[in-house]
A and B are shown apart, each in its own frame.
Chain A
């Protein structure tokens, strides 16, 4: 059987989660490896969520928020952007392959972009193979 990765998504309620709903409403097809957790704002995402996801065996983590400047809470995603950039550096410093953690800005009207990002990211994770660096078995 081919490798089917587990990908954790964390999406903000107002943009990316709504964009994901729009992808569904318009019946766009994308791989089913992504499981999305909804938070109100990408700024709610504590770096520990990301670390924990990889410990739990996630092969990839995708975070989605509003486009910078368009945050439902004015400035939340600007904090998220900086914090998640540092998170990515730390993960890679600790040995995670670049490409397993991605942050994307997807608005409520970008159902297409959501489907494209998920499809592309899933392909990328499949190519990387199972994530073993952080996984606690």
Chain B
């Protein structure tokens, strides 16, 4: 005999509008073993929680059912109420009548009857629940940050400053990310390098940060508090311990390739540092471009290196790092605008994407900061096309958020550096941010022309064959426009990294419709993920500007710290156990478990479970032919009882 209390929440009108909550409570009171059933306006409020706590004591309840929102919302809240009232927290059952009932119907009869069925199932299951004891594990104090753009750099510095050891993993040979490519930042027109490079240098100097450039995560094992992460150190062909960064090798090297940092607008050597302020200031060899690797002779770099740091035999190496928490800050790619053939990117030399334009403005860029087109001329008329691939159901539905502002910044810089006429082709100007609207107003005053209409097509001008023609509909005048220009700037969609899916699989992250990493809750847990102990920051979560990215990085650092600051932490008790009496020693469980939790105890001839490794998925329980494995909190009996209850109504 159980003593069950049922507590039905109205959630204001969120539930009460399409479920007759008092009828549901009356119904609950008729079910066997239910000794008290009540409904209340906001069960999660303090009075609501106190009501449950009082009833637990007054009615000596040994099971509690809260009929409210999704367990993913408030299961922890109500578990705490049970624990504080002296009841084991696993004796709580949540019935989800908001997300999965009241919000998905307008029909109060249907809503009420479905809620009754769910509640009936819950009462059945509740009776069979067992008290469980949480596992306490040791927590590794260190943190890994993946991606060393501004988000990763900021998070690493914050964590390192608290005294934590941070492993900062970067796939490129330098840290800095996209921000290092920018010339100025909106709306303040700060020089991007001037504000970023001091931080990059701090990373290098920080005694608590171990910088792992030219590295990639190749395997993630373990779980929150105890991750074992395998890092692949890609061969650099330069021994960075010996290299003294004299860079004589880069001067002598005859091999050339396009510079990724200059977005292909300039060349770099085969042995190179990506840009003058790169961190670390030590070169790597690009195997694809190296004369020795291609033709078997050259080795000029080796000859000039006094430190004997060049090592053509170097191989990729693997090492494992143990950390307690992880921050993923892997950034974004720009959409490849060649896919949108109407804009002529890659076909007409006068069409540029936004990152290329950043490099044109930059004094360390391919043109020394002058706005000179690929044909060597200075443009007389420039069109900036907003929303290329974003806010477009044919490509990416999302708004990339920063394009309006950097496009305005471009207009300012074009006006500063050229005498060209500058035209914006836009859908709306989105200038929500501190100082952004003011910046927009300033640019309007700078004799920049705004045409409200999305650029539809870029073509060769019919009259002047060396010029381009932008076509659009001006939605204010309703007229079709053909504008001759010399330069077209595309503001492309910011999209997930091409390898975002691989990263998601490594760290067990979900991705949203666009492919960005999904947060645990869009409002209240924007930096956490479904993978406990793994946090996200920056554009890998969704497009955002530098201030928001930095704020997120600080937040993610604080979240990671809340885990690693403790020596020990509690894990869910919902693991599996083996009943040795019915184990038939088939070892199916040992074979299927991805975590290696079940192991075969030779001397006893039965399987046992290493609970520290078990994540509670229940796979082994389903492959166990004799039912010897019991998935705690999701036992066969519990699941079947719930099903029976659901099917009665």
Contact = CB atoms under 8 A, between A and B. Distances in A.
Contacts of B70: 21, 24
Given A21-B70, A24-B100, A39-B634, A29 B508 contact: no
Contact of B117 (A13, A30, A35): A35
B112 to A, nearest CB: 10
A37 B643 contact: yes
B97 to A, nearest CB: 10
Contact of A32 (B114, B504, B518, B615): B114
B518 A108 contact: yes
Nearest to B621: A44
A69 B70 CA distance: 26
Interface in A54-95: 56-58, 69-70, 72-76, 79, 83
Given A21-B70, A75-B594, A35 B114 contact: yes
Nearest to A61: B643
Nearest to A52: B640
B51 interface: no
Contacts of A44: 617-619, 621-622, 631, 634, 639
B104 A28 contact: yes
B642 A37 contact: yes
Given A25-B103, A28-B104, A115-B104, A107 B510 contact: yes
A7 to B, nearest CB: 10
A125 interface: no
Contacts of A35: 114, 117-118, 121, 646-647
A15 B594 contact: no
Contacts of B513: 109-110
B647 A49 contact: no
Nearest to B574: A40
Interface residues of A, number: 49
A79 B574 CA distance: 20
Contact of B512 (A13, A40, A70, A109): A109
Given A52-B640, A53-B647, A108 B621 contact: no
Contact of A70 (B98, B100, B111, B504): B504
A38 B618 CA distance: 12
Nearest to A58: B647
Contacts of B104: 23-24, 27-30, 32, 115
B643 A48 contact: no
B395 interface: no
Contacts of A70: 504-505, 510
B506 to A, nearest CB: 10
A81 to B, nearest CB: 12
A36 B505 CA distance: 27
B18 to A, nearest CB: 10
B510 A56 contact: no
B99 A21 contact: yes
Nearest to A53: B643
A39 to B, nearest CB: 6
Contacts of B117: 35
Contacts of B642: 37
A52 B100 contact: no
A99 B646 CA distance: 21
B113 interface: yes
Contact of B636 (A20, A48, A72): A48
Contacts of B101: 32
Contacts of B530: 14, 18, 72, 108
B517 to A, nearest CB: 11
B99 A20 contact: yes
Given A6-B647, A15-B510, A36 B100 contact: yes
A13 B425 CA distance: 45
A110 B518 CA distance: 12
Contacts of B616: 40
Contacts of B512: 109
Contact of A21 (B100, B621, B623, B643): B100
Contacts of A49: 636, 639-640, 643
Given A14-B530, A49-B643, A109 B511 contact: yes
B44 to A, nearest CB: 16
Contacts of B118: 35
Contacts of A52: 640, 643
A9 to B, nearest CB: 9
B339 interface: no
B314 interface: no
Contacts of B71: 38
A15 B639 CA distance: 19
A79 B634 contact: no
A41 B510 contact: no
A57 B647 CA distance: 7
Contacts of A108: 510, 518, 530
Nearest to B648: A56
B106 interface: yes
Contacts of A32: 101, 104-105, 107, 110-111, 113-114
A79 B510 contact: no
B72 A18 contact: yes
Nearest to A20: B100
B239 interface: no
A42 to B, nearest CB: 9
A43 B617 contact: yes
B592 interface: yes
A75 B615 CA distance: 13
A73 B105 contact: no
B504 A27 contact: no
A49 B634 CA distance: 12
A43 B103 contact: no
B333 interface: no
A84 to B, nearest CB: 11
A28 B646 CA distance: 23
A43 B623 CA distance: 9
Interface string B503-530: 0110010111100001000000000001
B615 A73 contact: yes
Nearest to B101: A32
B644 interface: yes
A40 B589 CA distance: 17
A41 B617 contact: yes
A124 to B, nearest CB: 19
A117 interface: no
20 contacts: A13-B72, A15-B510, A21-B99, A23-B99, A24-B70, A25-B103, A29-B106, A32-B104, A32-B107, A32-B110, A32-B111, A36-B96, A37-B646, A40-B616, A48-B636, A49-B636, A49-B639, A72-B508, A79-B592, A107-B510
Given A20-B100, A44-B617, A83-B622, 16 more contacts: A6-B647, A14-B530, A18-B510, A20-B99, A21-B70, A21-B99, A27-B103, A35-B117, A37-B121, A39-B639, A49-B643, A52-B643, A56-B643, A72-B531, A108-B518, A109-B518
| Shortest beta-carbon contacts, A-B, top 6 | A44-B618, A24-B99, A43-B619, A24-B103, A41-B617, A73-B617
